[in-house]
Structure 1
Amino acid sequence: MKNYLIALGLFLSSVSSIYSQDSLVFKNGNIIVGEIQSLGNGVVTIETDYSDDDFTILWTEIEEAYTESLLTMVTVDGDRYYGTLRTDNGKLVIMDEDEGEIIVSRNEIVSLKPLDKKFLDRLYAGIDLGLTFTKARDQRQFTLRSRAGYLTEKWSIDMNYNVLNSSQNDTEDIHRTDGNIAIKYILPREWYITAQVDFLSSTDQLLDLRTNSRIGVGKYLIRTNKLYWGIQGGVSYNVEDYEGFNNDRESTEAWFGTGFNVYDIGDFSLLTNIVVYPSLTESDRIRIDYNLDLQYDLPLDFYVKTGLTLNYDSEPIEGGVETDYVWQTSFGWSW
């Protein structure tokens, strides 16, 4: 019966003229036919010609896969293949254009991306908003967290922009803005090259603007359909402009960091990373950037997120603080 259903699914895919069809067979025997858009963070996305919305399915719920689309495939070991995918005797068979047949288990595949994805299909974006009004002292607070990016088989660009504005009677207003632009180029065996520009403006640290430009290399130590853990490091050039001060600073720093992301815990996901900057030109100065995000997914691509952003400076400017942090809880949407 199961073989009949698979044959029927493949037949339906052959008569459709809209897509280069792929078929996924669930553990319960159901079949979905369409075009695979991606596999990442343990979730496979497939587009069909009978729904306006893409379907997202846990990769662990897929028993068999058959593709006609040409895919970029990445394994837990960091090996990259280009070709199609089919199932044979419970194993996935990668039909690589150069190496021929490679047999792997389902859990060894951590990433799938079509080679012919359109420009808009490679984009992602999300925005979180928070707004608080309190009658006491006429307190008002606005928060915004946003991100966007573009992914290809070999490189990616990621952007973040976050704002906190807070005001109340008889107290100075608080303003904090941070963000970054990061470019990553993928190398074999889960290594990558990264170039990134970070910026921070904070009334608490008396910073008009800190601009930190850094380059380095990184490696994914673990990347599965449940989590990833990576390390990276390099050198950076830090420029700081302070409020009302003539002693602005420039310094060269080393940097090293680690990031951890868990995404197979039901509707929850956890992302945390830390970067340490020991100065090479300012004696005994160390800076630390830390981020923590916990997200709960809601229907229709909405979610609720709570997160911590912390910046530490062992030698702040006179009148500034060593530690500046923001804890935000917000409602967001992504695509």
Structure 2
Amino acid sequence: MSKPLTLLFTVVLTVLMINAVFGQKTDELYMMNGDRLTGEIKALEYGKLKYKTDHAGTIYVDWEDIVSLKSAHLFAITLSTGERWFGSIDSSLDTGYVIIAMPLASQKINLNNIVLIDPIKKTFWSRIDGNIEFGGSYTKASDVLQLNGSFNAEYKGRNFLTGYRSSTIVTTQPGKDDNRKYDVSVYGVRMYSGNWFAQVNVNGESNSELGLDWRVLSGGAGGHDFIRTVYSRFSGSIGLYYNGEKGGDSSKVTSSIEPAFSLSYKVIKYDVPKIDIYTAFNVFPSFTETDRVRMQYDLQTKFEIISDLYFSLSFYYTFDNKPRTAGAAKEDYGIIGSIGYKF
């Protein structure tokens, strides 16, 4: 064999050996039926442990079927009480328990109390999760074309997360003005023990159906998870916001102070197909404008097509009893279908 070929063969073999050594999956999963699975713990969320194996690929294991697990990697472990622990996971002599190993101490925890396991990722980009969606429809009889899209990204730290959300809906019909609905939000959330959290956010909005040229809402809120189980999450919050907005038929910018009352619920069903359901309800009664009330309701259901690819069906309802533009509608609602991808 010539020297160049020998060198090439040596380099390829070395790379493969390094990849085999460092790419080995060494986490261990102990099942109720006595099986032991070697792989890599990816996450626990809504009752399913995402687990990557060499032979079967990525699988989802019912949390209630697991009696113990073990990993030398670092994780953020959230309990149903809101407590958060950071460390590696070791098996326990007591069935149904694990040991969270931390630098200066260790803690034995009942598996039934764990609702969330997130790997602590080392790089900035690996800590970002999100999704992108696109959809559209066309009705020939009325010649109505509707296009919609959204983009969401979230960065997770140990006790906080920050994110960006945006969505667009454009409806066109010959002979009529386009209807446009834009929403964008930048937010930060700090988690505390006892299932409490605090958040700050800045929201931008435009809605031609409601005669709203633009709105900027900024402020903060405090909230609590009333229900936090391995299968679902039900939360509520109360906040205070500054609202600056402009109607479509005026150059006047109006300012107001608004409290905010919010409820949200999320659950994932791991049937075939996997279904992700999220709903939220927000009310904004104005402090500074007499009898003005705004409301927003959202319902989204995602049906998994294949891993990370899904079909989304959403319903939204927006209400403003005193729209900024005279003669504008007081409510706007719609059903949106789209194809989405999680990253």
Q: TM-score, with normalisation over the residues of structure 1?
A: 0.87
Q: Is 2:125 aligned against 1:120? A: yes
% identical equivalent positions:
24
C-alpha displacement at 1:30, in angstroms?
A: 3.9
Question: How many correspondences in the alignment?
Answer: 320
* Structure 1 position 178 matched with structure 2 position 183: yes
**Mapping 1:34-45, distance limit 5 Å:** 34-45=39-50
Secondary structure of the 2:116 match is strand
Kept in 2: contact 1:258–1:274 (CA 8 A): yes
The one-letter amino acid of 1:160's match is R
Distance in structure 2 (CA, Å) of the matches to 1:246 and 1:322: 20
Which of 76, 79, 97 does residue 72 from structure 1 map onto? Answer: 76
Cα distance between partner residues in 2 of 1:185 and 1:33: 34
Matched with 1:84 is 88
Structure 1 residue 326 displacement after superposition? 2.5
Tell me which residue corresponds to 1:218.
223
- Report whether the alignment pairs 1:300 with 2:304: no
The letter for the 2-side match of 1:69 is H
- Rg (Cα) greater in structure: 2
Correspondence 1:260 to 2:268: no
Q: Superposed, which structure 2 residues align to 1:19-38 within 5 Å?
A: 21-38=26-43
- Structure 1 position 176, deviation (Å): 1.1
State whether structure 2 residue 153 is matched by structure 1 residue 148. Answer: yes
Change (3 A) 1:120 1:66: same
The amino acid that maps onto 2:155 is Y
Deviation string 1:131-177 (CA, Å, 9 cap, x unpaired) is: 22333343221111221111122111122211111112233221111
Please point out which of 323, 326, 335 is paired with 2:331: 323
Bigger mean CA deviation after superposition, 114-123 or 201-210: 114-123
Most deviating of 56-65 and 289-298 = 56-65
Match of 2:143 in 1: 138
Give how far 1:101 is off: 4.7
In structure 2, what is the Cα distance between the partners aligned to 1:52 and 1:244? 60
Q: What displacement does 1:258 show?
A: 1.0
Change in CA separation of 1:255 and 1:153 when aligned onto 2, cut-off 3 Å? same
Find the aligned partners of 2:300 and 2:291 in 1 and give their Cα distance: 30
Describe the shift of the 1:120–1:33 C-alpha distance in structure 2 as closer, same or farther (beyond 3 A). Answer: farther
RMSD (Å) for aligned C-alpha atoms: 2.4
Give the conservation status (yes or no) of the 8 Å contact 2:214–2:246.
Answer: yes
Cα distance in 2 for partners of 1:284, 1:77 equals 39
How far is the alpha carbon of 1:212 from its aligned partner?
0.7
Match of 2:204 among 199, 204, 207: 199
C-alpha deviation, 1:264, in angstroms: 3.3
Indicate the larger mover: 199-208 or 76-85. Answer: 76-85
Question: Aligned pair 1:334/2:336, yes or no?
Answer: no
1:183-235 Cα distance to aligned partner (Å, 9 max, x none): 10111111111001122111111112111112011111111111001111111
Secondary structure of the 2:209 match is coil
Say if 1:20 and 1:69, in contact at 8 Å, map to a contact too.
no
Question: Quick one: distance in 2 between partners of 1:231 and 1:277?
Answer: 14
Distance 1:248 1:240 in 2: 6
The C-alpha deviation readout for 1:92-142, integer Å capped at 9, x for no partner, is 122343784544332211111233443333211212211223333432211
Instruction: Give the secondary-structure state (helix, strand or coil) at the position aligned to 2:307.
Output: helix
The TM-score with structure 2 as length reference comes to 0.85
Greater CA drift, 91-100 or 161-170: 91-100
Tell me the residue number matched to 2:11. none
